[in-house]
Structure 1
Amino acid sequence: MAQKDTAKCILDAAEELFSERGFAETSLRNITTKAGVNLAAVNYHFGSKKSLIQAVFARFLTPFSENLAEALEAYKSRQADDGIELHGLLVLLSGVALRSGGTRPQRLDIFMRLLGLAYTQGQGHLRKFLKSEYGPVFQQYMALVTAATPELSDADRFWRIHFMLGATMFTLSGVDSLTAMAEHDLGEPTNVAQVVDQLLPFLGAGLKAPALKKSV
C-alpha cells in the first residue's frame, strides 16, 4: 500500500471510530485494526494519538477555512452596496460547510459529531490546535456577525452563538435519522441542504431575539 493510501486509510478509520465511540474510548489498536495497518504506520504518519485527532479535524477544516476565507473576501467586496446582514452571513457559512464535504455530504454530520465531542470531552490540545490553525478566519467571520448584531451585548452574543452551535451540532450530527423521520412523518424526501435551509431561520431568529431584561 502506498504511503498516501496508508495515511488515508488511517484517517478514514480514525474519523469513523472517533465519531462513533469518542476520543478516549478509541484506542490506536482499534484504529490500526480497522485500517488494516500496524502501529508503526500510525507513528510514522502521525506521531501520536493527539496528532492523529488533530489531523482528522484538519482534513475537514483546512478546506473549510480556505473556502470561508474566499467567501468572506467576496462578501466584504459587496458589503458597501448590500450592507452586513445576519441571514446572509448564515447562508454564507452553511454554503461553505456543505461544499467542504466534497462528494461525501455525510462527512458534515460526522464532523459535527466530532465537534460535539471536542466540546464535551477533555481535549484541551485540540482546542488550542483549532484556535491556532483556524482562529484568524473565524475571527473575521465573527467580526461581521458582531457588526450585524450591534444591539447585543458581548455576553448575550457569546451565549447565543454557543446555543446556535449546539443546535447545529445536534441537528446535523443526526441528520440521517432526522431526514428519515421527516420522510416518514411528512411523506417527503429531505436532503442535508434542505435541513440546513430549515435550520437557518431558526438560528437567525434566536440570535436576533430581544435580550431579556435583567432582574434587579
Structure 2
Amino acid sequence: MAQKDTVKNILNAAEELFSERGFAETSLRNITTKAGVNLAAVNYHFGSKKSLIQAVFARFLGPFSESLQEALAELQQRLNGEAPDMQELLMLLSHTALKAGHDSPRRLGIFMRLLGLAYTQGQGHLRRFLQKEYGAVFRTYMALVTAATPDLSDEDRFWRIHFSLGATVFTLSGAESLTAMAAHDLGKASDIAQVVDKLIPFLASGLNAPQQTV
C-alpha cells in the first residue's frame, strides 16, 4: 500500500471511530484493525494518538479555514467599514463548511460530531491545537459577529454563540436522520444544503433577539 493511501486509510478509520465511540474509548488497535494497517504505520505517520486526533481535525479545518479567510477578506472589502448582517455571516460560514465537506452530509456530519466531542470530552491538547492553528481566522470572524450584534453584552453574546453552536452540531451531525424523518413526516425530500438554509434564519433570529433586561 502506498504511503499516501496508508495515511488516508488511517485518517478515514480514525475519523469514523472517534465520531462513533469518542476519543478515549477508541484505541489505536481499533483504528489499525479498521484501516487494515499495523500499529507501526500509525506511529510512523502520526507519532501518537493525540497527533492523530489533531490530524483528523486538520484534514477538515485546513481547507475550511483557508476558504473562510478568503471569504472574510472579500466580505470586509465589500463592507468597507459598515456593520455586517448576522444572517449573511452565518450563510458565509455554512457555505464554507459545505464546500469543505464537498456537500457530503455524511462527512460534514462526522466532523460536527467530532466538534461536539471536542467540547464535551477532556481534550485540552486539541483545544490548544485548534487555537494555535486556526485561532486567527476565527478571531476575525468573531470580530464581525461582535460588529453585527452591537447591542449585546459580551456575556449574552457568549451564551448565544454557544447555544447556536449546540443547535448546529445537533442538526448537522444528525442531518441524514433528520432528512429521512422530514421525508417520512412531511412527504418532502431535502438535502444538507436545504437543511442549512432552514437553520440559518433560526440561528440569526436568536443572535439578533433584543437583549433582555432584568
Q: TM-score, normalised by structure 1?
A: 0.97
Partners of 2:18 and 2:58 lie apart in 1 by 14
Partners of 1:81 and 1:39 lie apart in 2 by 53
Letter in 1 for 2:60: F
Partners of 2:157 and 2:104 lie apart in 1 by 33
Matches within 5 A, 1:152-191: 152-191=152-191
Are 2:93 and 1:93 equivalent residues in the alignment?
yes
What's the offset of the Cα at 1:57? 0.3
Once the two structures are superposed, residues 136-192 of structure 1 have per-residue CA deviations (whole angstroms, 9 ceiling, x without a partner) of 000000000100100001111001000000000001111110000000011010100
Residues 212/103 of structure 1: CA separation in 2 closer, same or farther (3 Å cut)? closer
What's the offset of the Cα at 1:81? 8.4
Partners of 2:112 and 2:124 lie apart in 1 by 18
Are 2:93 and 1:108 equivalent residues in the alignment?
no
Partners of 1:82 and 1:177 lie apart in 2 by 40
Letter in 2 for 1:192: I
Once the two structures are superposed, residues 21-71 of structure 1 have per-residue CA deviations (whole angstroms, 9 ceiling, x without a partner) of 000010000000000000000000000000000000000000000000000
Map of 1:14 onto structure 2: 14
- Number of residue-to-residue matches in the alignment: 214
What's the offset of the Cα at 1:117? 0.5
Map of 1:194 onto structure 2: 194
What's the offset of the Cα at 1:102? 2.1
What's the offset of the Cα at 1:213? 1.6
Partners of 1:103 and 1:210 lie apart in 2 by 34
Partners of 1:81 and 1:164 lie apart in 2 by 26
Deviates more, 1:6-15 or 1:71-80: 71-80
Partners of 2:94 and 2:40 lie apart in 1 by 39
Letter in 1 for 2:199: L
Partners of 1:37 and 1:152 lie apart in 2 by 52
- The percent of aligned pairs where both chains have the same amino acid is 73
Q: TM-score, normalised by structure 2?
A: 0.98
Q: Which of structure 1's runs of 4+ aligned residues deviate more than 3 A? A: none
Q: Is the contact between residue 22 and residue 117 of structure 2 (CA under 8 Å) also seen in structure 1? A: yes
Partners of 1:84 and 1:30 lie apart in 2 by 46
Partners of 1:5 and 1:42 lie apart in 2 by 13
Map of 2:52 onto structure 1: 52
What's the offset of the Cα at 1:106? 2.0
Map of 1:71 onto structure 2: 71
Map of 2:131 onto structure 1: 131
